[in-house]
Each structure stands twice: as structure tokens, then as C-alpha cells.
Amino acid sequence: MQIEIPVIAIDGPSASGKGTVAALVAARLGWNYLDSGSLYRIVALAASRGGVALDAETELAALAQRLPARFRQGQVLLDGDDVTDAIRSEACSAGASRVAALEGVRTALLELQRAYRQVPGLVAEGRDMGSVVFPDAALKVFLTASVESRAQRRYKQLIEKGLPVTLDDLLQDLRERDARDAGRAVAPLQQCADALLLDTTAMTIDQAVGRIVMWAGERFAV
């Protein structure tokens, strides 16, 4: 008899904190974790390194299909090279948003993402985890925050890393990225009808994690 592996699908806009929250929820539950955004960032980085244009759908899809990416103890490896920090740059973030809008790339990465569904369970975060990748997930969460709050959080992160950035530029970038993610023809960012809304504008990370763990306890008795 096939075992039904539970999935918590967490979707939301850029810089909403869903990556941090999802990773902590997975740790609290002892489940596997999928940062789907990293896969698109790796594609964008690999394209940049290989001289592939970010609108060359056929070439990008082929690149995604044979993506030599591995995740190891918090590290992201591309062909054996540690790219954990490289894929978090603003340039790579913008590139990831562009390649993620291409149907060929999304199709190439679909089965790779679904392969992360392993016992005892999976916490998956991204833009279309509940709508496309795991539509049968028993718990779907749409995690968001105001664009001003998200820009402040991203600004603090980048300043702490010593990167030159202005709050106005981040606000503009997030607004443009939100519009691009929500308006793309393929798997647009949206709250699923059966997803629970979690607005973290006035919440701490611990509060957000606690809320999702509570919902998981109600759905999965964990």
C-alpha cells in the first residue's frame, strides 16, 4: 500500500519571509524542506555563467533539465561549487523571476521539485507550491506582508551583508517583481482558494512559525 506523504505548501511574494519560516517549520516538525526559489536562482546563475540569455527559453529549459544542483546541510551546490551566497544576490533574484516566467523552465523543474516529497513529510515554499507543484497538499498557506515591511526586511538583510542598496530601489524592485509574478501567464503567484492567509506584517518569525505548526497539528496530528 502506498504511503500518503503529507505536504505543507507555503506560497507568497518575494521577501515575505516564507523561506525562513518554512525552514523553521520543517525543523520543528522534523520534515524535509524544499526551497523551490533556489532552483530558479540556480538556473539564472548557471545561465549567467554559461552565457545563456535569460529569455532563451529552449536553452534555459535544457539547462534546468540537467541542472547539477545539490543541497547539503544548508549549502547550495552547483556542479560542486558552493553558490549559497551567490544565488542570494539581487541580480540573481531578478534573473530567477525572469526565468520562472518561462513555461519550459517550470516544466523541466516540476518533477525535480516533486521528488522532494519523502517521508515523513515535506514543507515546500515558493510561488506555486499549492497551485501547481503540490495541488493535493493537505495544508496550504499564503504567507505575505505589506510591500513596505518586506522592503524594510530585505534592506536590513542586505545592509548587514555590507551590500550597497537604497530602500527606495528595493521598494520599486519588489513592486515590479510582485506585478511580474502575479501577471505571468504560467503559474502566476496567487492565493489558492483552499489556502490559509498568514499576514506577517506585524508578526515575529517565531509567531509565524508557531501559527503554521499549530495548523499542521490540526491537519496532521503531529
- 24-74 pLDDT, tens digit per residue, is 999 999 999 998 989 999 999 999 999 999 999 999 999 998 888 877 767
CATH number assigned to the domain with residue range 7-215, chosen from the 4 options 3.40.50.300, 3.40.190.10, 1.10.10.60, 3.30.200.20: 3.40.50.300
Q: How far is it, in rounded angstroms, from Cα 21 to Cα 44? A: 24
Amino acid at 15: A
List Cβ neighbours of 11 (8 Å cut-off, separation of 6 or more).
18, 125, 126, 127, 128, 129, 130, 131, 140, 141, 142, 143, 189, 191, 192, 195
Query: For residue 210, is pLDDT > 80?
Result: yes
Show the DSSP H helices in 16-163 as ranges.
Answer: 18-29, 36-50, 57-65, 90-99, 103-114, 147-160
Q: How far is it, in rounded angstroms, from Cα 186 to Cα 181? A: 9
β-pair type (139-144, 196-199): parallel
Q: How far is it, in rounded angstroms, from Cα 75 to Cα 112? A: 18
% residues pLDDT > 90 (the chain): 65
The number of C-alpha atoms within 13 Å of 88 and in the hemisphere containing its C-beta is 14
Cell triple for 92: 540573481
Cell triple for 177: 517583481
Q: How far is it, in rounded angstroms, from Cα 116 to Cα 133? A: 11
Cell triple for 7: 505536504
Query: For residue 83, is pLDDT > 90?
Result: yes
Q: Print burial letters for 97-111: b (CB count within 10 Å at least 16), e (below 16).
A: bbbbbbebbbebbee
Q: What is the pLDDT of residue 2?
A: 53
pLDDT, mean of residues 203-220: 96
pLDDT, mean of residues 113-125: 94
CB atoms within 10 A of CB 83: 20
Nearest residue to 195 via CA among 4, 11, 6? 11
Q: How confident is the model at residue 77 (pLDDT cuts 50, 70, 90)?
A: confident
Residue with cell 513555461: 103
